[in-house]
Every structure is written in structure tokens, then in C-alpha cells.
Amino acid sequence: MELISTLVKKTIPNYLSGLPIPDTFGGWFKLGFKDWVSLVPPTALTAGLVYVSYLALCPASPCRSGARSNKRVNQKVRLNEAKVVDMIDIEDISEKAAFCRCWKSKNWPYCDGTHGEHNKECNDNVGPVVVSRKQK
């Protein structure tokens, strides 16, 4: 514990106080090559900490979206179309029909249960839209 105390109370402040940080804006233009080189490690450390914080805390960061780098929801159904639209006549539905919402069904637009694997893999809870005839 004493090592950490010394590091935080003495070593780091002494290191930071020895950095050639100018008092004025114009002072940055007067720094020499060695001064700029001595500013690289703390700048790289700060940038690294900011980046790691971004990855950990930002909801839209690549780490939060899993292994997929592609942000598309639809990864396989009629990708060549600008918008996937299916028209289904309600009269064609016998008792009920389950429609896919995960975009992974091999029987698009109907659900084939593929979302179950997706839910386990991504800790998600997506399921189908079930449309049924009103009972008379």
C-alpha cells in the first residue's frame, strides 16, 4: 500500500510538474523537439484512457454491439432492395401467423424460431409478431 501511496503522492506529481507545459498559448510554439517528445507518453496515456472509457461506457461503441462490425439489423433478407416491405393479406391467414422480427428467418417473413439462437448468443429477448384472427 505504501508503494501506491508514494506513487500517487510523490512520483506522479513530480513527473507531471517536470513536463514542459507552457503558461501561454504562444509558449507552445517555443517548445523544442525534446520538449515535444517528453509530452508524447502522457498524451498517449490520456488518449488511451479516453478511448477505453468510450468503449466501456458508450452504448453505441463497437464493443457493445458484440463481434459484429456491421451495424445492419438485416444481414440476409433481400439486401439488394432499398427497403424490405412485405404485404400479406389478412384473409390469407388461417388462425394465426408468426412474423419474424429478428431478420434471421430462413422462411421470411414468417418466423422459424431462429431468434432463439440469436437470443442465447446476444442475451437478447426478440421474438415474433403473432397475428391472429379475432374469435367471433
> Catalytic one among 34, 71, 83, 134?
83
Distance linking the first and last C-alpha atoms of the chain: 75
Backbone dihedral region for residue 129 (phi beyond 0: left; psi -120 to 50: alpha; all else: beta): beta
pLDDT tens by residue, 90-101: 777 778 888 888
Q: How many CA atoms lie within 13 A of 98 on its CB side?
A: 12
Task: Tell me if residue 83 is catalytic.
Answer: yes
* Domains by residue range for the chain, with CATH: 1-57 (no CATH), 75-135 (3.40.5.90)
Determine if the pTM surpasses 0.95: no
pLDDT tens by residue, 61-75: 555 555 444 566 777
Coil vs helix vs strand at 110: strand
Residue with cell 442465447: 120
